[in-house]
Amino acid sequence: MKKMHLFGDSTCASKAEDKRPETGWGEKLIDFLGPEWVVFNNARNGMSTKSCLDSGTFLSGLERIEKGDVAILQFGHNDSKEDEKRRTEPWSSYQANLKYMKDKIEEKEAMVIFLSSITRRLFKDGHIYNSHGEYPEAVKALAKSLNAPFVDMNKKTMEFFDKLGDEESKKYFMNFPAGLYPLYPEGREDNSHLRTEGASLIAGMVYEEIVEYL
């Protein structure tokens, strides 16, 4: 049995049934990995690198990691938030936290793959724009300096949804009119979190980029 460990935020996290159709891409990754894999999804709503460490979530997940396992780290979405429980700075504490996680995982003789955050569905003048500031570039630079695997999911998803367009891209996110889903009778306008279709799409993108390391 091969084991994958995911650490990240709400875009990756497993969702409660009373939140459906909201789905984290981490829930759908097993569809691409196949039956010989088991996935431990340690991603949590609202989580940053700082809160992942401070809350004990990372330590709890680390205890399950064994030699030969693979771990994916995808943060940045909440590291930019202003509250002191989550805030990090891209070129200092954010990078330091990611390096700490990588070092601890590699002590277990497991492999780390860094991902930048997936894009938010935010358009301006007909084009999607980067809402994650310098965090994608910071994790990219860190991975390069450590000679570690890196997937620029921010860039990859921005390009995909930009080409798809403002209206057509809504079907992948929790952005829909009233009356479509029983749990959301008034509709929803959430451009960060994914519907089932979006989670499957992103999981497929992630798999395509990491399969060479597996």
Residues with Cβ within 8 Å of 97's Cβ and at least 6 positions away in sequence, in order, are 49, 50, 52, 53, 75, 88
Q: In the structure, what pLDDT confidence band is assigned to residue 32 with cuts at 50, 70 and 90?
A: very high
**127 a catalytic residue:** no
Whole-number pLDDT of residue 137 = 98
Q: Which of 10, 80, 117, 200 is catalytic?
A: 10
CATH architecture of 2-213: 3-Layer(aba) Sandwich (3.40)
The whole-number pLDDT of residue 168 equals: 97
Residue-level pLDDT at 205: 98
Average pLDDT over residues 175-202: 97
Q: What token pair was written down for 4? A: 């994958």
Options 5, 77, 132, 193, the catalytic residue? 193
* Composition of the chain by helix, strand, coil, percent to 5: 40, 20, 40
10 is catalytic: yes
Query: Whole-angstrom Cα distance, residue 58 to residue 27?
Result: 18
Are the C-beta atoms of residues 144 and 150 closer than 8 Å to each other?
A: yes
Instruction: Mention every residue, 6+ apart, whose C-beta is less than 8 A from residue 159.
Output: none
Q: What is the mean pLDDT of residues 22-47?
A: 97
State the average pLDDT over residues 165-187: 97
* pLDDT tens profile 41-98: 999 999 999 999 999 999 999 999 999 999 999 999 999 999 989 999 999 999 999 9
What is the pLDDT at residue 88? 98
Residue % of the chain over a pLDDT of 90: 99
107, 109, 189, 208: which one is catalytic? 189
Residues 35-40, mean pLDDT to the nearest whole number: 96
The pLDDT tens digits for 100-146 are 999 999 999 999 999 999 999 999 999 999 999 999 999 999 999 99
